[in-house]
Structure 1
Amino acid sequence: MTQRYYVFLISSVAAFGGLLFGFDIAIFSGTIPFIQSYYHLSEAQLGWTGSSLYVGCIIGTLITGPFAEAFGRKLPLIIAAAIFMVSSVFMGWSSTHSALIVWRIIAGIGVGAASMLSPVYIAEVSPAAIRGRMVSINQLTIVTGILLAYFSNYILADVENNWRWMFASGAIPSLLFFVFVFMVPESPRWLVSKGKLKKANAILSKIAGDEAVQEIALIQSRIQKEVKGKFSDLLAPGVLFMVMLGITLAVFQQISGANAIFFYAPIIFEKAGMNVKDQLFQQIMIGAINLIFTVVAMLLVDKLGRKKLMLAGSSLMALWLFLVGICYYYSLFDGYLLSFFVLAFIATYAATLAPVTWVLISEIFPSKVRTLAVSISTGMLWVACFALAYGFPVLIAVLDAPQTFFLFSFVCLTYFFILWKFAPETKGKTLEQFEMETIRH
């Protein structure tokens, strides 16, 4: 077994957390046509059912960081896998709506943990030469999980107790993750930070071969030089602006309209007159396009640059959403026109805002406050995600479909001008070079 193959293997296991992350956020959409009538849910209750997962995500994000620092990366990954597995079964066989909400919040804790742990673990076990490629596996598995959830919903649509089996189907990939995560090693970087050099050396020998000793020395040197930032450091000249920009990037990614389609596609296509089976098939198309254009983004982001992709994405998304609104306004539902505009919107989002937002958030902050600033931006992202998931069913009921999509189009157009005026270009610059430029300005 070559060293790179070993790194790929353990990174793929860790990236299963990303797959379950994608699966859990997407599986709910297929249950909508069935649980709304089963529990007699109002639009606000449906929004709360969908968004309750993100309450758990916020909790999971807040508690996982300190837990992972104290106990390592492997144990929290095992716990996250167990949470996914147990919550999937209990969501599916909840006896009451309140019980379903409780188990969705618990599932969200696992989602929040995985959203943090999987990329961190992969980055810490991967050699520098292939780190970017390995971390990108996590984004691929997230969109793969979304597509698998859509397939699961489509296959189970005609089964008795379909919505229960849709939720419970998440236990299958969760079980695989739970079994395989026991076989991955602990993060060598964490082991070095705790003075467990013998164990770290054994793992790094499999990852880095003869360079294991040098890697340990390098890790020790980095740990010694690390200076943890304080909240007061976020108010420093230039830094506060970047923090506000990071929050803006995170929030606009969530309120651009894409997650409304990922979470509530059945409602959107129902208003176009489609039956349940056609609604769920449209979701498979959305998931496939999302996966394909995520790969496109990975090929483009280092060639075209971050700002160009974000500007192109926000402007095109505004156009596609406006045309979706026109389809609803004039009832243009014959043929494939509405589906084309929705899929074009998802393709644009997947190739631009979806991945590039994360890239920029990881690059724009000074090293001293990077961890703290990324944590704040990510936390606000989950808050915005919760707000959208809760509010969309109410919004589309109050405003009607055309006005809702015109509103999202306006949001994306506004974002274009914010990006054009304030977003930096980080392409081709080291983190240190960009930090020095930021300080000078």
Structure 2
Amino acid sequence: MEKVSTSSSNKITNNNGETVYDSTNTSSKFTCYLCFVAVFGALGGFSFGYDTGVVSGALLFIRTEFKLDSFDQEVLVSVTIATAMITAFMTGYLGDKIGRRPCMLIGSFVFTVSTIINGVSKTYWMLLLGRGLLGIGIGVILMISPVYIAECSPVEYRGPLVTLCTGMMTVGRTVASIVDGAFSYDKTGWRYMLGLTGVPSLIQFIGFLCLPETPRYLVRSGKEDMATQILQRIRGRSDVSDEIQQIKEICQQEIKLKELQGNEWTLKKVMLTPSVRRALIVGVSTSLIQQLSGINTVMYYSGTIIQMSGVRDEILAIWLTAVTAGVSCIFTLLGIYLVEKVGRRKLILSSLAGVLLSLIVLAVAFQLSEINSPGVTYSEDVNNTCSSYSSCASCITDQNCGFCYIEDGYSAINGSCAHKLDNMAAKYGRCNSTELSDGLVWGTTSCPSQYFWMCLLGLSLYLITFSPGTYWLFAAVVVLGFIFLFFTLPETKDKKLEEVETLFETPWCSCGRSGSFDINRTPNKPV
């Protein structure tokens, strides 16, 4: 039984010495047309990155114009993510039915229309509609863009070109922060901030009017001649028969696999196959750990967080946001450069360690904020007494103010303040020791003695959850994620896709394990 070493090779052969795959037969030069395809495909990542970055600065002005409370701001941000998630689940099926190119045209068109609605919005509900439509466009574009680029790219350029989407996201966030700063001197500048989001998506829409469908989708649809012409143009050579034949064989294998599976639910098959199930769990966990580490908080609320840390000037807060976005852009591009040199496992674990250190610094900084506590942030629907206090510490010790949203001790116990106060506390991480110790005394003294244990339990849960600030919670997630990935994430550097599968067939603890690949092994059977 022949073993193929993990070292890079141009050929894969079977027991009979026959070449199964030879990358030298499909080598291609990097053509201008391929660059055109990759750039316009990756513009979807730029559009998404721009949106996540521009909201942070625009929100500072939107909340003032529409008099939004904390909950309204969260809904305005979250509706885009929610509609994007729902759309992404359906886009894969749609892309297989109508093609990659039509999906990109639909996504970029919806994205552009939504930004026009956002820019001219006169009411909060109109803005909410625009943000929802924006999520639909994002869901379609982000789902199809990597597939489109991958199916058009030659093997030797596929990795870097697909990761171009990620790099463009950080570039988009950086550009958005600069745009925010440029328009921050005008109170209505947020309309230009949001409206300009449609510029890259409009360019992408025009570009895809000239771009072709992917060769692989055309072969699957029986349009082999058209696929050959397009592949010749992308590859910059006339002989693409070998690559067309490989695409046909892959498509035939997919058809046979579907026939063998019948109508059985694909996800069920995945979950019943140990190696695939483990790979899925590790892959999904990696994404979840990234999202739950607080990156979205930084992206969407960085301007607000900077203000809550003591920077009262809105314009200065926006420009400081641009600095953080610029740092993110530099290190993302650095990560793309290092991923094949250092390895994915080392890069992920070292990145998590840096995130953990940053979250601890943020959490400690907000807990020590009482030393020089900044002014209270409030909205019009909150008790206006708050405006007469210079800090939360002085507010909470006044019997006429207290917790702002709480009028008696029972409110602190039954959680009626959760609607707004807890959301603000979780988002800003602003509670400090004096505020909470005073609040504890103030809440418990109003509680009847026979129900004191309920008061103590409720306030204890509140303290554990919110008093340290959200950053301690994010830090805890990162610690758990680091431990999980340290024992389960294998190194996939210099591994072919077929070899990666074998890394998940052994026990859960991988600890960076790597090994050889047996091309003639028996496929992993469902349990």
Normalising by structure 1, we get a TM-score of 0.82
Match of 1:425 among 463, 488, 491: 491
User: 2:448 is matched with which residue?
Assistant: none
Residues 1:233 and 2:269 aligned together? yes
State the distance in 2 between where 1:321 and 1:8 align: 38
User: 1:82 is matched with which residue?
Assistant: 109
Residues 1:435 and 2:501 aligned together? yes
Q: Which amino acid is 2:485 matched to?
A: L
State the distance in 2 between where 1:107 and 1:439 align: 41
Number of matched pairs: 384
Residues 1:309 and 2:340 aligned together? no
Residues 1:221 and 2:253 aligned together? no
State the distance in 2 between where 1:116 and 1:125 align: 15
User: 1:127 is matched with which residue?
Assistant: 154
Shift of 1:154: 0.9
Q: Which amino acid is 2:280 matched to?
A: V
C-alpha distance 106-95 of structure 1, shift in aligned 2 (>3 A): same
Match of 1:325 among 358, 363, 379: 363
Other structure's SS at 1:424 match: coil
4+ residue stretches of structure 1 with deviation over 6 A? none
Contact 2:94 2:103 in 1 (8 A): yes
State the distance in 1 between where 2:246 and 2:424 align: 51
Shift of 1:438: 2.2
Give per-residue Cα distances to partners, 1:283-315, cap 9 Å, x unaligned.
Answer: 211221111111111121122222222221212
Shift of 1:273: 1.6
C-alpha distance 128-141 of structure 1, shift in aligned 2 (>3 A): same
Q: Which amino acid is 2:349 matched to?
A: L
User: 1:341 is matched with which residue?
Assistant: none
Contact 2:50 2:197 in 1 (8 A): yes
State the distance in 1 between where 2:49 and 2:317 align: 19
C-alpha distance 260-301 of structure 1, shift in aligned 2 (>3 A): same
Shift of 1:398: 7.3
**Identity across the alignment (%):** 29
User: 2:471 is matched with which residue?
Assistant: 405
Contact 1:260 1:392 in 2 (8 A): no
Q: Which amino acid is 2:477 matched to?
A: V
Give per-residue Cα distances to partners, 1:11-51, cap 9 Å, x unaligned.
Answer: 11111111111112222111111111222222122111111
Structure 1 or 2, whichever has the larger Rg, is 2
- Structure with more of its chain in helix, by fraction: 1
C-alpha distance 311-79 of structure 1, shift in aligned 2 (>3 A): same
Residues 1:282 and 2:320 aligned together? yes
Q: Which amino acid is 2:178 matched to?
A: F
Match of 1:396 among 405, 427, 441: 427
Other structure's SS at 2:210 match: coil
Other structure's SS at 1:84 match: helix
Match of 2:47 among 8, 20, 25: 20
Contact 2:56 2:299 in 1 (8 A): yes
Match of 1:33 among 34, 57, 60: 60
Q: What are the ranges of 5 or more consecutive residues in structure 1 without an aligned counterpart?
A: 335-390
State the distance in 1 between where 2:361 and 2:425 align: 22
C-alpha distance 167-393 of structure 1, shift in aligned 2 (>3 A): farther
Contact 2:109 2:205 in 1 (8 A): yes
State the distance in 2 between where 1:332 and 1:310 align: 35
Shift of 1:7: 0.5
Which moved further from structure 2: 184-193 or 204-213?
204-213
CA RMSD of aligned residues (A): 2.1
C-alpha distance 172-238 of structure 1, shift in aligned 2 (>3 A): closer
Shift of 1:331: 3.5
Shift of 1:86: 0.8
Other structure's SS at 1:421 match: helix
Residues 1:68 and 2:99 aligned together? no
State the distance in 2 between where 1:147 and 1:393 align: 26
Q: Which amino acid is 1:214 matched to?
A: D
State the distance in 1 between where 2:47 and 2:135 align: 11
Q: Which amino acid is 1:246 matched to?
A: G
C-alpha distance 333-140 of structure 1, shift in aligned 2 (>3 A): farther
State the distance in 1 between where 2:425 and 2:283 align: 28
Shift of 1:172: 2.2
Other structure's SS at 2:487 match: helix
User: 1:366 is matched with which residue?
Assistant: none
**How do 1:25-424 and structure 2 match up within 5 A?**
25-208=52-235, 209-226=237-254, 227-228=257-258, 230-236=266-272, 237-274=274-311, 275-331=313-369, 393=424, 395-396=426-427, 400=431, 403-424=469-490
User: 1:363 is matched with which residue?
Assistant: none
Give per-residue Cα distances to partners, 1:89-137, cap 9 Å, x unaligned.
Answer: 1012222212211211110011111111111111111111111122122
Contact 2:54 2:176 in 1 (8 A): yes
State the distance in 2 between where 1:233 and 1:56 align: 28
State the distance in 2 between where 1:398 and 1:321 align: 11
Instruction: Tell which has more relative contact order, 1 or 2 (C-alpha 8 A, sep 6+).
Output: 1
User: 1:356 is matched with which residue?
Assistant: none
State the distance in 1 between where 2:282 and 2:69 align: 36
Shift of 1:393: 4.7
Q: What are the ranges of 5 or more consecutive residues in structure 2 without an aligned counterpart?
A: 1-28, 373-421, 433-467, 508-527
Q: Which amino acid is 1:303 matched to?
A: K
